[in-house]
Amino acid sequence: MNDYLDAMAKPFMVITPWLPRVFLGIAFFIHGYGKFPLPPERMVTWFESLGYMYPEFVTSLVALGEVIAGVGVIAGGFFSNHIGNLTTRLSGGAIVVIMIGALVIAHADWFTDPKTLFTSEQIFLLILGLYYTIRGNN
């Protein structure tokens, strides 16, 4: 049975490295682009209510970071040299930072509820970002 499944999967092996890369990149791009035009007013109002300094700057930086990191994760895969590897790692690192911020600021209560944490989209985005931060294009 395993040999049969290997034979069935073999033609698709070339796309498997691209599946998480493309879906993470698109998801992050869409999250960031949805915050445009800058500054994202609803997010600014929320950050102000939480007492954060410079909410216009911080929220604009988050939106730009999401768009750039999403594009960077995908673009990094097109270059097999050190530039592609660096682009992938930096983009993955940006995703990790943004997702830690999102979890701590917006979803801190999830850390006491593993069911919610581990069934959320956010934890998977964080883990995929961490994966690309560590692995790069390798």
CA quadruple 76, 79, 80, 86: dihedral sign: negative
Please state, in angstroms and rounded to a whole number, the distance separating the CA atoms of residues 65 and 111.
Answer: 24
Quick check: is 1 in a domain? no
Please state, in angstroms and rounded to a whole number, the distance separating the CA atoms of residues 36 and 120.
Answer: 24
Quick check: is 29 in a domain? yes
* Residue 111 identity (one-letter amino acid): F
Quick check: is 53 in a domain? yes
Q: Against a cut of 0.85, is the pTM above it?
A: yes
The predicted structure's pLDDT at residue 124: 94
Per the structure, the complete domain to which residue 60 belongs is given by 24-135
Task: Give per-residue pLDDT as tens, 61-91.
Answer: 999 999 999 999 999 999 999 999 999 999 9
Please name the residue that has the structure tokens 């995908």: 74
* Res. 96 pLDDT band, cuts 50 70 90: very high
Q: Which residue has the higher pLDDT, 113 or 93?
A: 93
Please name the residue that has the structure tokens 């390798």: 138
Quick check: is 63 in a domain? yes
Please name the residue that has the structure tokens 């801190």: 108
Quick check: is 12 in a domain? no
Task: Give per-residue pLDDT as tens, 102-115.
Answer: 999 988 888 888 89
